[in-house]
């Protein structure tokens, strides 16, 4: 350690001597010494630097243009939703404005560095202030920025507002490290309530069976199916940490926050099959990914989105079984007054269904016996 300190001290001492030597040379020039050679050397260096400024700007502009054109092949294809195309339009509008401002300001900066390079006998003019010019370069960017913010806010308002009445409602829940989806069943388009206190090994979403709208809800975890050309409302939540629902081809992105449900609605207007034909990739699949680093398995937190025509979607829906059907043991948690409604979703051969039928038939048998006795 002592050797390191000593070495650093020596280095700083040498640097200090060099600075003092340079300072002495500058002071001699300021006191009227012979600086002709120094001025010529500075003038030559300035001319070289002045030429390099516009050269660097032109070469940089060419390189950036080439990079952009070459990277276009890796861009996402045209968005598969109307709001996605609107979002893309806003993005490219902002990029155009920023690019124009960047090119103009930097072109002037590099040009002025060349034009006003050092020249013998040329003196700079002191220009203290210009209120008109300051007002122009303050107000114009402020107005442009306000317009961009307003248009962006309108787009955001549209996709987070109330969804159309005919929207297909789907709940998507993020957890480490996969997505789970819950659909309102085929009997209605209304999701039942949930309660995080009801979450257990089988009821991973906390489905509340005290709400009869939950009886026909079904869950999936392998892939999400949605109909084409129909509004889809995603009700988003998280079970553990912060996640984010991202459907790149739809330009859908919304955080899934524990304890704070979020929402996003959109319309997919290109089926998976149409995208396969459009891209020429028969293995194409829409993807739902998580874009918040949520742990070691974050990379694997993805699922497939299937966009299909209405007939195919309804056929897929008809094949799904309500969660209660697959978990008949939970019939015991249904309030007594609703068990008769819930029982129709329980397979007849299960003990729960038989027990419920017996309980329902007992009052009827007692009534019949009473009537016979009265006769």
As for how many domains the chain has, the answer is: 1
Distances (CA, A) of 335 to 99, 210, 327, 356: 63, 6, 16, 12
Structure confidence by residue, pLDDT tens digits, 199-253: 988 899 999 999 888 999 999 988 999 999 999 999 999 999 999 999 999 999 9
Tell whether 69 is covered by a domain: no
Question: Which phi and psi (to 5°) does residue 67 adopt?
Answer: -60, -45
Distance CA(12)–CA(32), nearest Å, equals 31
CATH code, domain with 220: 2.60.40.420
- Classify strands 286-290 and 243-247 as parallel, antiparallel or unpaired: antiparallel
Is 359 a member of any domain?
Answer: no
* pLDDT value for 24: 67
Write down the residue that tokens 């050797």 correspond to.
3
Q: How far apart are CA 301 and CA 207, in angstroms?
A: 23
Tell me if 104 is assigned to some domain: no
Residue 53: inside a domain, yes or no?
Answer: no
- Length of the chain equals 375
| pLDDT recorded at residue 369 | 40
In a domain, 218, yes or no: yes
Structure token pair of residue 181: 């989806």
pLDDT tens readout for residues 102-112 = 999 999 999 98
Is 206 within the bounds of a domain?
yes
Alpha carbon distance 227, 168 (integer Å): 8
Q: Which domain holds residue 247?
A: 168-348
Do the strands 302-308 and 286-290 form a parallel or antiparallel pair, or are they unpaired?
antiparallel
Distance separating alpha carbons of residues 258 and 255, to the nearest angstrom:
10
Query: Which residues of the chain are under the pLDDT cut of 50?
Result: 35, 357-358, 360-375
Helix (H) or strand (E) holding 170: strand 168-175
């Amino acid at each position: 350690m002592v050797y390191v300190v000593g070495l650093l001290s020596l280095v700083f001492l040498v640097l200090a001597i060099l600075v003092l030597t340079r300072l002495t040379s500058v002071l001699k020039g300021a006191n009227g010494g012979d600086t002709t050679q120094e001025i010529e050397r500075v003038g030559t260096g300035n001319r070289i630097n002045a030429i390099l400024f516009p050269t660097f700007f032109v070469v940089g502009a060419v390189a950036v243009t080439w990079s952009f054109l070459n990277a276009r092949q890796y861009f996402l294809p045209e968005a598969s939703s109307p709001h996605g195309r609107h979002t893309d339009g806003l993005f490219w509008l902002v990029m155009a404005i920023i690019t124009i401002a960047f090119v103009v300001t930097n072109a002037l900066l590099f040009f002025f560095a060349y034009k006003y390079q050092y020249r013998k006998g040329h003196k700079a003019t002191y220009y203290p202030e210009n209120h008109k010019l300051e007002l122009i370069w303050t107000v114009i960017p402020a107005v442009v920025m306000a317009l961009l913010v307003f248009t962006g806010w309108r787009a955001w308002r549209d996709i987070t507002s109330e969804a159309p009445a005919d929207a297909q409602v789907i709940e998507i829940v993020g957890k480490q490290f996969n997505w789970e989806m819950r659909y309102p069943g085929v009997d209605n388009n209304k999701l039942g309530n949930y309660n995080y206190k009801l979450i257990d090994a089988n009821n991973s979403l906390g489905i509340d069976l005290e709400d009869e709208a939950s009886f026909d809800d079904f869950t999936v975890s392998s892939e999400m199916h949605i109909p084409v050309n129909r509004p889809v409302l995603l009700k988003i939540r998280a079970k553990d940490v912060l996640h984010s629902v991202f459907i790149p081809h739809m330009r859908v992105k919304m955080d899934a926050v524990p304890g704070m449900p979020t929402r996003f609605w959109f319309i997919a207007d290109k089926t998976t099959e149409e995208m396969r034909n459009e891209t020429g990739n028969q293995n194409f699949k829409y993807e739902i990914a998580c874009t918040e680093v949520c742990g070691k398995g974050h990379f694997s937190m993805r699922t497939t989105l299937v966009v299909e025509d209405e007939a195919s979607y309804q056929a897929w829906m008809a094949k799904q079984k309500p969660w209660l059907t697959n978990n008949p043991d939970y019939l015991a948690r249904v309030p007594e007054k609703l068990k008769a409604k819930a029982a129709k979703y329980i397979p007849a051969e299960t003990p729960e269904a038989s027990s419920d039928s017996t309980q329902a038939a007992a009052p009827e048998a007692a009534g019949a016996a009473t009537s016979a006795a009265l006769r």
